[in-house]
Structure 1
Amino acid sequence: MVDFEWYRSFCIIYKYNSVSEAAKVRMMTQPAMSQHLASLEAEVGEALFIRTPRKMIPTERGKQLYSQLAPLIESLEEATMNFKTASLPTLTFIKIGTAHEFYTEKILPQLHQSNSSVISSFGTADQLLELLKEDKLDLIVTSKKIPAPGIEYQKVMDEEFVIVAPAAYELPVTDSLEHTEHWLSAQHWISYGLDLPIIRRIWREHFKKRPQIRPVHVIPNLHMILKAIGDGAGLSVIPTYLLENSGDKRTKVIFGELKVNNELFFAYKLKDKQLPQIHEMMTIIRENG
């Protein structure tokens, strides 16, 4: 008789192409995970994976079985989670982490839509991922899709970044990309960090080189950077959604063709995938992205 846990183990092995990674996700030992797979293969009567030194490659029978099992297991796990939450107090909690600026512009105005109590944290992509791994956060919005056992990512949206200058800035009249790059390199720049995040992307994608820039100011807050630009402190790279909401007439976009897109992702623990409060918060953010 087939044990339901064999099916769950099989689906996780299929997802990660690895018995060892699947064991970490399910918090089992590797021998126990291998035993689940061996028992299921014995029941099915044929191999479900081709073992290679680097990964597990599903056979045609394995692919067929996964396509049948995956939606059924997700439905069962969702039903189980609903049973659990039905017995909990009415007020639920969700611990969410994002960049300060994204939270201010995209989440804070919609916070009243949440039926859960929201506990918010702010930090860099690396900091937020560590908090998620330690179960100190339930959901993060991040610009880095860093592979990690038991962590699943879903794309949220694309951010568009443009170069922004004080409104009074006089621009050179030129059609030459080389002259534009030379002029930009000679300006005062304000950066989010010493490693010139996003500014490097502008140079790499449009000028095919590293920027030869030393920022005059480093301010790890985009709202403050935008204010500093308006005050005449220099140029920087700002997401368009922040400009749309700021209403600041003291700044302007320059060289609009020199823009870059940056992907944002939701990240959460695979074990928490079916939590209603996570689904609700992702829906709220997506609908207002």
Structure 2
Amino acid sequence: MIDFEWYRSFVSIYRHNSVSEAAKSRFMTQPAMSQHLASLEAEVGEKLFVRMARKMIPTERGKLLYSEAAPLVEALEKVSADLKTASLPGMKWIKIGSAPDFYQEKILPLLPRFGTCSISHFGTAEELVESLEAEKVDLIITSKKFMKPGIEYEELGEEEFVIIAPAHWDVPETRSLAEQDRWLAGQKWIAYGPELPIIRRVWREHFKKRPKLHVPYIVPNLHMILALVGAGAGLSVVPAYLLQPANAGDVRMVYSHLSVRNALFFAYKSKHKYYPEIQHVMKIIRENL
């Protein structure tokens, strides 16, 4: 008789492409995870993965079984979670974390629609994941994925980053990348951090090289960067959602084709995945991104 836990382990291995990572995500030992897979393969009568040095590659039979088993495993896990949460008092508070600027623009206006009380947490991607591990937050929005045991990610969408300049600056109108590079590199820049996050991506993706810029200001706050650019201090790269009429009166986007995009993800503890409040909050945020 096939054990349901074998299927759960199989689905986890398929998603992580690794027995060791799957074992961590399910808080199991690697030998126990391997035994689940071996037992399922013996029952099926075929190999479900080709074992490579550092990766598990699903066979055609493995791919077919995953397409059939994954929705059933998720449905049963949801039933199990619903039974547990039905006997618990309702979640009166939800703890949400993200970068402060994203929160101010995208999450804060939605708080009255969540239907629950909330506690806000801010930090870098690394800090937010650490808070999630420690259960100081229930749900985070992050642009980086860190594979941690018991933490799952869901795609939320993308954010576009664009170059901005003071509105009164005279920017050369040219389609030549070389001329754009030359002009941009000759200006003063304002960066979010000393490693020039996002700015380096602009140069790497569009100019195929590392930027050599004069960066007299490091300001780890996007709204302050917007104000500083508006005051004529230099150029910067910020999320396009900041350029709302209420924010962007003194700045303008330049060379819009030089934009870059970041993926955004929800992250939460696997054991909290089906909490109604978390699912409801994610739905509202996703619909209004």
TM-score by length of structure 1 reads 0.90
Q: 1:19 to 1:181 in 2, by over 3 A?
A: closer
- The residue type equivalent to 1:244 in the other structure is Q
Does 2:36 align with 1:36?
yes
Distance of aligned partners of 1:22 and 1:189 in 2 relative to their CA distance in 1, 3 Å threshold: same
Matched-pair contact (CA < 8 Å) for 1:96–1:119 = yes
For 2:88 and 2:115, the matched residues in 1 are separated by: 14
Tell me the distance in 1 between the aligned counterparts of 2:156 and 2:192.
Answer: 22
Indicate the larger mover: 76-85 or 258-267: 258-267
Q: CA deviation at 1:112?
A: 0.9
CA deviations on 1:225-273 (whole Å, 9 max, x unpaired) are 1111122222211211111253442222222332222222222333332
Structure 2 vs 1, CA of residues 9 and 172 (structure 1 numbering), >3 Å: closer, same or farther? closer
Check whether the contact 2:191–2:217 (CA below 8 A) recurs between aligned residues: yes
**Are 1:126 and 2:126 an aligned pair?**
yes
Query: 5 Å matches for 1:1-289?
Result: 1-244=1-244, 246-289=246-289
The amino acid across from 2:9 in the alignment is: S
Percent of residue pairs bearing the same amino acid type = 60
Q: Which range is displaced more, 227-236 or 96-105? A: 227-236
| Unaligned stretches of 5+ residues in structure 2 | none
Aligned positions, number:
289
Contact kept, 8 Å, 1:160 with 1:240, in 2: the verdict is yes
What amino acid sits opposite 2:168 in the alignment? Answer: A
Query: What is the CA–CA distance in structure 1 between the aligned matches of 2:163 and 2:189, rounded to whole Å?
Result: 10
User: For 1:196 and 1:37, how far apart are their aligned partners in 2?
Assistant: 45
Q: Secondary structure at the match of 1:165?
A: strand
Q: Structure 1 unaligned runs (5+)?
A: none
Task: Tell me how far 1:111 sits from its aligned partner.
Answer: 0.6
Q: Distance in 2 between matches of 1:253 and 1:171?
A: 10
User: Which segment drifts farther, 38-47 or 242-251?
Assistant: 38-47
Change (3 A) 1:209 1:65: closer
C-alpha change, 1:231 and 1:71, in structure 2 (3 Å) is: same
- Secondary structure of the residue that 2:258 maps to in structure 1? coil
Q: How much does 1:153 deviate?
A: 2.6
Alpha-carbon offset, residue 106 of structure 1: 0.6
User: How far is the alpha carbon of 1:174 from its aligned partner?
Assistant: 4.3
Distance 2:278 2:250 in 1: 39
Distance of aligned partners of 1:73 and 1:187 in 2 relative to their CA distance in 1, 3 Å threshold: same
Structure 1 residues 239 and 53, CA gap change in structure 2 (3 angstroms): closer
- State the shift of 1:287 in Å: 0.8
Deviations, residues 90-127 of structure 1 (Å, cap 9, x unaligned): 34433222111111111100111113332221111222
| Superimposed CA distance per residue, residues 151-180 of structure 1 (whole angstroms, 9 cap, x where no aligned partner) | 333222221222212222122354543233
Contact preservation (8 Å) 1:128, 1:140 = yes
Q: In the TM superposition, what is the alpha-carbon distance from 1:276 to its structure 2 partner?
A: 2.0
> Deviation of residue 220 (structure 1)?
0.5
Deviation at 1:279, TM superposition (A): 1.5
Q: Alpha carbon RMSD of aligned pairs, Å?
A: 2.2
Offset from partner CA, 1:59-96 (integer Å, 9 cap, x none): 34333332222111211111121122222223443322
CA-CA distance at 1:37 after TM superposition: 2.5
Q: What SS is found at the alignment partner of 2:157?
A: strand
More moved, 104-113 vs 131-140:
131-140
- 2:28 and 2:115 map into 1 onto residues whose CA distance is 34
Q: 1:30-82: per-residue Cα shift (whole Å, max 9, x none)? A: 22222223333333344333333333333343333322221112111111211
Task: Give the letter for the 2:52 counterpart.
Answer: T
